[in-house]
Chains A and B, each alone.
Chain A
Amino acid sequence: QKEVEQNSGPLSVPEGAIASLNCTYSDRGSQSFFWYRQYSGKSPELIMFIYSNGDKEDGRFTAQLNKASQYVSLLIRDSQPSDSATYLCAVVGSNAGGTSYGKLTFGQGTILTVHP
């Protein structure tokens, strides 16, 4: 089982729609969760982080975390063609002082295309 799994897509949505991106993780003790966006040929850039169960909203983006289900998601409202990119879910390992401490693991990414 991969440590962080995402639907690789591609996910195609029309402009103005809601895009929903999902991620599951295997380390039950993980505390920090991140969503990065990566344009083709560029480095990943942070969109959102979330640490507590529930929803966190930032503009058109909402991150959702459910630690019991080991599930984190990203919703993009009013999707724009400029949102077309690969979205990467990342998780920091737990177990302070142990084998996973500080380990930052990414999923395989979901390719999102927003068409006009």
Chain B
Amino acid sequence: NAGVTQTPKFQVLKTGQSMTLQCAQDMNHNSMYWYRQDPGMGLRLIYYSASEGTTDKGEVPNGYNVSRLNKREFSLRLESAAPSQTSVYFCASRDRGRTEAFFGQGTRLTVV
């Protein structure tokens, strides 16, 4: 049982390049989330999908887009990377109601 799988684990981009971070969960969870984590800032919500077919903005959505491809997969796209997007990105999933979230191992992204 893999849980939540994120790819890639590490990535270096040049300013202006685009890329997609992939996330897949095998727990049949309804909700999926993308966070970024910067030193001293905790986990800041970028986008989330409360259920298949819906996506909503979080606290810091600018510069990002998401796709809930199906119930298992939720991708995060950077169309034109900027150095301010250098961060560690976490994907998470959880089921309906009063349930905990499970996290992927994170993607460390550096934009130069």
Query: Which A residues contact B (CB, under 8 angstroms)?
Result: 3, 6, 8, 31-32, 34, 43-46, 49, 51, 88, 90, 92, 99, 101-109
Contacts and interface: CB of A to CB of B under 8 A. Distances in A.
Contacts of B2: none
Nearest to A107: B42
B98 A49 contact: yes
26 contacts: A3-B59, A6-B42, A32-B99, A34-B100, A34-B101, A43-B103, A43-B105, A43-B106, A44-B43, A46-B100, A49-B100, A101-B50, A102-B30, A102-B31, A102-B48, A104-B31, A104-B33, A104-B45, A104-B92, A104-B94, A105-B45, A106-B44, A107-B42, A108-B40, A108-B41, A109-B42
Interface of B: 30-31, 33, 35, 40-45, 48, 50-51, 56, 58-59, 90, 92, 94, 96-101, 103-106
Contacts of B33: 104
Given A102-B51, A104-B92, A104-B94, A43 B104 contact: yes
Contacts of A31: 98
Interface of B is mostly: loop
Contact of A104 (B30, B51, B101, B105): B101
A86 B48 CA distance: 23
A32 B51 CA distance: 18
Contacts of B51: 102
A43 B105 CA distance: 6
Contacts of B59: 3, 105
Contacts of B90: 43-44
A103 B45 contact: yes
Nearest to B35: A106
